[in-house]
Chain A
């Protein structure tokens, strides 16, 4: 045997995903459509957040959802009741959405409606604090949810997710009086991991914080559309 040839390629392992994500983003931009990637662990309240958010948001902005789930269409069925376009993406055994899956979801959405008519596309990722953080889908902003029942230390334990997020929603804050939970410690852990992230406390029960969240989205849409 000869000495091996060494090909120094310095290639990002995720470059194919990044390339597809870039293509998705160009498509979103051509449609003048703002895309948010909504991520969290399972049960942090992503689907409930979208249900409440879309009740109001869809009155002001034309909205659609790509709903990522591993094995069922249960969440998609909940959101379809709001009479907005929803495309379920069942990932099978994959624990995250990738850019190809979102591209496929967008093609199905294009068969339902003309995305030119939309203002915002909300992509609910699979419940997981690890892999979704590494896989870009072409989104303009990443929103991470963290429910207070998960513990103050999660930004330190899953730093990539919280480092990558543009906005962190602290959910289920109505439970604060019932738990031994230090919200200031959580906020400090968020700040030390990602000092640039916006942070909003929110409750799907009392609806506290929803005005701030809706305002955050509205501003992003208006700025994106240059209105």
Chain B
């Protein structure tokens, strides 16, 4: 995942002319229902970019809650592992996921040299 993030940044920077910019912040939106542990992503990113053009950048992560929709009564709810992800209102299985699968670079804050 860290490699994918760095490759995405490389691709973005190519379009912007990398030599003329300094990245300050990479603002991510990471859903709770993904295979990404935010602190691990930050740590591995910081280690991977040491000495590179991204060395000065800082990662911020906005966690997007895991939200489902009960297919019986249409109520939104926060699925919990302890409850088998079922809806607390009708005890229905998790059919529709509304949010929580996000793995996004929301925005990049940078300075032009």
Q: Which residues of B contact A159 (CB under 8 A)?
A: 33, 81, 85
Cα-based distance from A12 to B111 in the complex (angstroms): 23
In this assembly, does B1 line the interface, its C-beta being within 8 Å of a C-beta of chain A?
A: yes
* Contact partners of A189 in chain B: CB under 8 A: 84
B94 A13 Cβ-Cβ under 8 A? no
Interface residues of A in 114-164 (CB under 8 A from B): 130-131, 133-134, 156-157, 159-160, 163
Q: Quick check: is A227 within 8 A (CB to CB) of the other chain?
A: no
B76 within 8 A of A: no
B35 contacts partner chain A, Cβ-Cβ < 8 Å: yes
Separation of A5 and B20 alpha carbons in the complex (Å): 13
Q: Which residue of B lies closest to A131 (CB)?
A: B35
**Chain B residues within 8 Å of A188, by CB:** 84
Q: Please report the C-alpha to C-alpha distance between residue A196 and residue B94 in the assembled complex, in whole angstroms.
A: 10
B5 partner residues in chain A, CB cutoff 8 A: 13
When each residue 16-53 of chain A gets 1 if its CB lies under 8 Å from chain B and 0 otherwise, what string results?
11000000000000000000000000000000000000
Query: Within 8 Å of chain A (Cβ to Cβ): is B103?
Result: yes
- Contact residues in B for A16 (Cβ distance below 8 Å): 4, 7-8, 11
B84 touches A17 (CB 8 A): no
Contact of B105 among A2, A9, A130 (CB under 8 A): A9
Docked CA distance A16–B111 (Å): 25
Asked if B62 is at the interface (CB within 8 A of a chain A CB), the reply is no
Closest to A160 in B: B35
In the complex, what residues of B have CB within 8 A of residue A193's CB? 84-85, 93-94
A192 contact set on B, CB distance < 8 A: 84-86, 93-94
Q: A13 touching B84 by the CB < 8 A rule?
A: no
Contact with B along A189-213 (1 / 0, CB 8 A): 1011111100000000000000000
Q: How far is the CA of A191 from the CA of B33 in the complex (A)?
A: 17
Could you tell me the distance between the alpha carbons of A48 and B46 in the complex, rounded to whole angstroms? 40
User: CA of A189 to CA of B16 in the docked complex: distance in angstroms?
Assistant: 47
When distances are taken between beta carbons in the complex, the residues of chain B under 8 Å from A15 are 8
In the bound complex, how far is the Cα of B84 from the Cα of A6, in angstroms? 40
Q: Complex: how many Å from CA A189 to CA B82?
A: 11
Contact B93 A9 (CB under 8 A): no
Q: Is B12 an interface residue (CB 8 A)?
A: yes
Find out whether the CB atom of A9 lies under 8 angstroms from the CB atom of B107. yes
Residues of B1-37 at the interface with A, using a CB-CB cut-off of 8 Å, are 1, 4-5, 7-8, 11-12, 16, 24-25, 28, 33-35
Contact of A14 with B by CB under 8 A: yes
Q: Which residues of B contact A11 (CB under 8 A)?
A: 8, 12, 104-105
A–B complex contacts, Cβ < 8 Å, 11 sampled: A5-B111, A6-B107, A11-B104, A12-B103, A17-B4, A131-B1, A133-B35, A157-B81, A191-B93, A192-B84, A196-B95
Q: Which 5 A-B pairs have the closest CB atoms?
A: A192-B84, A4-B109, A195-B93, A8-B107, A13-B103
